[in-house]
Structure 1
Amino acid sequence: MQTRRTMLAHSATVAGLLAGLGLLPQAAQAAYAAAAFEAKSLADVLKALGGAAPVLSGDVTLQGPDIAENGAVVPVGCSTTLPGCKRMLVLVEKNPSALSAIFDVTDAIEASFNTRVKMGQSSNVFAVAMMADGRVLYAQKEVKVTLGGCGG
């Protein structure tokens, strides 16, 4: 019978082996994400992530409410069916930090994600697809917030 303690010990061993082989994310990857999450605008986020100028595209979809009653938990979804998507982003234009979520995508993963974001006020929300060929495509939707969720 496997206990929680032995499971944790085995997990730590496997993580140590993966780290020794260089198969775990490196600290440099965490640094780029930190810079992107500190950015204040769509352009600054894309610059931090090494992306090109974004282009509005019907191939990227953004789902979200027209009116959010509570800005603390606004459900949004982003997706694209285009092949070659390597990263999906969710941004909220008027938040103190524009970037709300990053989803790394491989060919084995369908580029379709749902999450909840916090919004302090009514704002444009962006779903951004960063493609393997360097293109950056986006969709945009205005979400009106009746009760703010980002600070007082």
Structure 2
Amino acid sequence: MNKSSVSIKMTMEITELGNKDVTVVEEKGHLLEKDNTTVLKFSETNENNEQTNSLITIQPDQVSVKRSGAVSMLQKFQSKQITENVYRHQFGTMHMETETDQIVYQPPVANQDGKLFISYRTSLNGETPRRHRLTISLAKEN
């Protein structure tokens, strides 16, 4: 198993009715690589100084995002499939239905950063789905 310290830049774009909301998070974390599985671990702190731990597991045919702390969820992405989960945060609980369009993962190698890109649509509590694009850039630290 290979373990590396990484700098993470996570860009989330949500498009709804022509409006685009973009959030960028930059954190330090760890990347664990073994066979066909890559795990990315990192923590974020929100404006209320509450921590959320994230564990992103990348496999050839699916990605799962497990978050615990201020936000709690286990979201699975599988190309061309619909998955469901429950999202819990300080304002309550929401049912999420996600349809994944595309997953592209390029692991970091030598002097080249890695990148995870997921394009999907999510519906919260049965509302009209919103288009999401998640891009995570990974830079190994020496």
Fold similarity call, TM over 0.5? no
Give the greater-gyration-radius structure (CA).
Answer: 1
The structure with the greater share of residues assigned to helix is 1
Length-normalised TM-score, structure 2: 0.32
Q: Give the structure with the larger strand fraction.
A: 2
